[in-house]
Amino acid sequence: MSKTIGFIGLGIMGKPMAKNLLKAGYSLNVCDLVQAAVDEVVACGAKAYPNAKEVAQNSEIIITMLPNSPHVKTVILGENGVLEGMKPGTIVVDMSSIDPTVSIEIEKEVAKKGGFMLDAPVSGGEPKAIDGTLSIMVGGDEEKFNEVKDMLLKMGDSAVLVGKIGSGNTCKLANQIIVAMNIAGMCEAMVLATKCGVDPERVFQAIKGGLAGSTVLNAKMPMVLERNFNPGFRIELHIKDLNNAMAAAKAVGMEIPLTGEILEMMKALDGKGEGKNDHCGLIHYYEDKEGVEVKRLS
Ligand code: NAD
């Protein structure tokens, strides 16, 4: 019989991921601060508990999918948190994107209680969370990774053990730098084309099969053309990731100037109240300066 899973954090990503586990036949115990999200997953067969402690008391594997390091600390180490209810032998799989040093810190506390922890952030965004085709990057013990790999592959189509605890999140920082640069490149290029009087949709059609083509371009350019900035992945979450990347670079004495530049652009938009837009909303940074709009002309 498959193990009972506790799933904490049913937001844009967590909700479809939890639903895919239910569809695959797992028993799921859930909690979230948002009652509507809990109700939706309960309607698909999950059991709700009022807090992380009670979820942990009734589960053998715990998945967390929360916004950032402080939320993960609260849910795992805090009052009525996972550690208070967790049985020895429990595997905690934190799938949030957080500071790798915090993953290392939390793992030590989980180990003191006889549990195991993996950091397993994901890439692919909401569409791939819904399809169950996320890319999952994992840090931690190989034996524990092998124990949960089949379960991870119900939410993703790849799960790669990158290294020891914290490595999953270091890998995710690399991922987020590359995504940010793809988006910024797309925005800069498409605003330039528009300002030069060329139809941005035709530019997209012309280049998407060439070397400039990318998953980012295919996912985000249609959103820009439709002027749809609903997240997806919020600018404020990307700011969090790039801040974590800057801290990781500082810790090893490296400069990451391109990341710093895009971080400042995103912060400027956040300061104007646009932090809850999808990260393709970075286009506004250029559009506002240049007085053009990248949109479908026909
Ligand atoms: P979200 O804000 O939509 O969801 C987070 C959920 O956590 C919310 O439902 C919130 O109520 C819940 N939560 C917060 N504190 C809690 C607590 N103390 N107890 C219980 N529940 C609590 O965020 P998201 O977009 O689902 O992202 C989650 C993580 O995944 C983030 O680290 C993000 O960077 C990462 N991520 C997001 C995407 C994306 O496209 N949205 C893609 C890849 C990775």
How does pLDDT run across 196-241, given as a tens digit for each residue? Answer: 999 999 999 999 999 999 999 999 999 999 999 999 999 999 999 9
- The percent of residues in the chain predicted with pLDDT above 90, rounded, is 99
Ligand 1 pocket at CB < 6 A: 8-14, 31-34, 37, 65-67, 71, 74-75, 96-97, 122-123, 125-126, 232-233, 237
pLDDT over 90 at 298, yes or no: no
Gyration radius of the chain over CA positions: 20
pLDDT of residue 297: 84
Choice from 7, 63, 65, 216 to test ligand 1 binding pocket (greatest atom count within 8 A of CB): 65
pLDDT over 80 at 194, yes or no: yes
CA of 100 to the centre of ligand 1 (A): 17
CA of 279 to the centre of ligand 1 (A): 15
Mean pLDDT of 81-88: 98
CA of 15 to the centre of ligand 1 (A): 9
Relative to beta strand 116-119, strand 61-64 is unpaired
CA of 14 to the centre of ligand 1 (A): 7
pLDDT over 70 at 1, yes or no: no
Please tell me the residue having the least CA distance from ligand 1 atom 4.
11
Mean pLDDT of 77-83: 98
Euclidean distance between CA atoms 90 and 61, whole angstroms = 6
Mean pLDDT of 254-273: 98
**pTM score:** 0.95
Mean pLDDT of 92-108: 97
- Measuring CA to CA, how many Å separate 285 from each of 14, 186, 188, 198, 271? 30, 12, 9, 19, 12
Mean pLDDT of 57-80: 98
pLDDT of residue 41: 98
- What is 153-191 written as a DSSP string? TTTEEEEEEEESTTHHHHHHHHHHHHHHHHHHHHHHHHH
Catalytic center residues: 172
pLDDT over 90 at 253, yes or no: yes
Choice from 19, 33, 98 to test ligand 1 binding pocket (greatest atom count within 8 A of CB): 33
